[in-house]
Structure 1
Amino acid sequence: MTTIETFEKPRRFYQTMAWVFVAIAFCGFIPTYWLKLMDGSFAGKPILHIHGFMLFAWVLFYALQTNFVANRKMTDHRSWGIAGVSLFTALAISILLAAINTIKQGELTGFANQAASFSIVTFSGIALIAAFIVLAIMNVHRADWHSRLMTLSFVPLLQAPMARPFAVMMTPPGAVGPPPVFVTLPPAIVIDLILVAMLIYDRKVTGRFHPVTLWGSIAIIAVQILCVPISTSPAWIATAKAIAGLAG
């Protein structure tokens, strides 16, 4: 394999993955957001529109960044990366506010504990995403680490849009209130195929599993599983309510 071929493969792989992420983010919300917007039946708070806008902006931004790398426009990639920090910060804030809104709505409708329990999915997800992105920034000069950490950060993020079609198909007629956390496992398994793709890519191109991909995958799967038992614990429910209480 020539040096150029070795150099090009990672660029094209992560570029392809980025556009897969765009497709998941957009298509996942079709049944619960886009279609409801079109027929006027979406009844969510304004923060949900802001959160949706920030989510799509972040995914598209990442696709743009991978395109810069794939086309060897590294100066543009680094310059826009600075703006990316601000964009992700805004996204993280919107995620937290959306989660707090859900807890508050649960309190108003008699599902306070269920809403607090389910919020562990959001809070653990944003913690994972932030950790991966901070590590990616710290390793910006190690391209193999940086690209993998940034890609891993999208697995918890994309679990939400992946869960929407499952919710439409699996929610019983007349069901009210937030669902139990274990219903997040089927869409999590599907979105974890991103991890499988990354591991296969590592094995094929480098002959081994890259430590970032391997340990990052273990961390993501561990959090997905542990969220189920922890979500119903009195300690977590109290913590979630306390976080929501900070908003007044």
Structure 2
Amino acid sequence: MKESIAKKINFDKAGYFAIGLFALAFLGFWPTYFSKFFDGTANFNNYFHFHFAMSSLWIALLVLQPILIRNKKFAIHKQTGKLSFIILPLFFASVILLKHHNIGGEVTEGLGASLWLQLKDLVIIGLMFVIAIANTKNMQIHARAMIATGIVFIEPTLGRFIILTLLPEPDFMLGLGITVAIMYGLIISLIIIEKKQSSGRWVFPILLVLFMIFHYLIFFQVSFPLWDSIAAWFASLPIT
């Protein structure tokens, strides 16, 4: 009985907690995005708007789906879930296009190392989504994997809030370090809470390991000739 209660608390209410991602997005992007529409300085390109729209749709899906399950709207949950096969590829495209546009075709020193930040999100979200879809009949694994895709959004939203609002002076690496510490605390807490669960408890440890690998690459600005060549090829593509 205790195990079933824990599972219900972890997953049925996940949609309500996912609403917090919208709050983080608002706080994180207020200085550089939302506020610009009020002071008349908004001059964003369509790639940025496209990325923001796709990110918002994915978070909205993470909010809606657990609420539908909690209210036993299983048929609607299943039909709405099919939208993920449209939204996720569009989200991936938005990340790629925005990064390519920001590079501006310039192959600068450290370009390869700079791409780990975006690749991290794509790889982790993509892998967790594959795990979720491969386990649609196992709600314990499916729910954990979908929650994991939402955790990925904490870094760019909370990170921006810390860097642009909380720190006395913007410091990317310091802000990212604080954000990563908070995220690791959250994931480790989930792992500890989940230690007595009988199904799917391996999802969050995998998530933590993936984050640790990519954050190592980011913080130590790791690159190598093959990756630098791929980065230069990406920058030269005529896609934006």
Is TM more than 0.5 here?
yes
CA distance in 1, matches of 2:198, 2:137: 23
CA distance in 1, matches of 2:71, 2:149: 23
Q: Which has the higher contact order (CA 8 A, sep 6+)?
A: 2
In the TM superposition, residue 23 of structure 1 has moved relative to its aligned partner by 2.2
Match of 1:42 in 2: 42
Match of 1:188 in 2: 180
Match of 2:109 in 1: 113
Cα-to-partner distance string for 1:144-174 (whole Å, 9 max, x where unaligned): 111111111223333111221233255858x
Q: Structure 1 224/155 Cα, relative in aligned 2: closer, same or farther at 3 Å?
A: farther
In the TM superposition, residue 224 of structure 1 has moved relative to its aligned partner by 1.6
Q: Structure 1 34/93 Cα, relative in aligned 2: closer, same or farther at 3 Å?
A: same
Alignment-mate amino acid for residue 213 of structure 2: A
Cα-to-partner distance string for 1:130-154 (whole Å, 9 max, x where unaligned): 1111111111111111111111122
Q: Structure 1 166/58 Cα, relative in aligned 2: closer, same or farther at 3 Å?
A: same
Count of aligned positions:
238
CA distance in 1, matches of 2:201, 2:113: 34
Alignment-mate amino acid for residue 220 of structure 1: F
Q: Report if the CA contact (8 A) 2:110-2:221 is conserved.
A: no
Cα-to-partner distance string for 1:100-158 (whole Å, 9 max, x where unaligned): 112117x2xxx833555322201222121111111111111111111111111223333
Match of 1:125 in 2: 121
Match of 1:241 in 2: 232
User: TM-score, normalized by length of structure 2?
Assistant: 0.84
Equivalent position to 1:148, from 144, 148, 171? 144
User: Larger deviation: 93-102 or 21-30?
Assistant: 21-30
Alignment-mate amino acid for residue 227 of structure 1: I
1:37-186 to 2 correspondences below 5 Å: 37-104=37-104, 107=106, 112-114=108-110, 116-169=112-165, 170=167, 184-186=176-178
In the TM superposition, residue 48 of structure 1 has moved relative to its aligned partner by 0.5
CA distance in 1, matches of 2:199, 2:141: 14
In the TM superposition, residue 4 of structure 1 has moved relative to its aligned partner by 7.1
User: Larger deviation: 37-46 or 90-99?
Assistant: 37-46
Q: Tell whether 2:32 aligns with 1:27.
A: no
CA distance in 1, matches of 2:99, 2:200: 35
Match of 1:202 in 2: 194
In the TM superposition, residue 97 of structure 1 has moved relative to its aligned partner by 0.6
Alignment-mate amino acid for residue 205 of structure 2: L
CA distance in 2, matches of 1:46, 1:171: 31
Alignment-mate amino acid for residue 83 of structure 2: A
In the TM superposition, residue 71 of structure 1 has moved relative to its aligned partner by 1.2
User: Larger deviation: 225-234 or 83-92?
Assistant: 225-234
Alignment-mate amino acid for residue 75 of structure 2: T
**Please, which runs of 5 or more residues in structure 1 have no aligned partner?**
none
Cα-to-partner distance string for 1:58-96 (whole Å, 9 max, x where unaligned): 101210111111112111111111112101111111011
Cα-to-partner distance string for 1:32-68 (whole Å, 9 max, x where unaligned): 2111222122343220011111111210121011111
Q: Structure 1 231/239 Cα, relative in aligned 2: closer, same or farther at 3 Å?
A: farther
Q: Report if the CA contact (8 A) 2:116-2:214 is conserved.
A: no
Q: Report if the CA contact (8 A) 2:29-2:157 is conserved.
A: yes
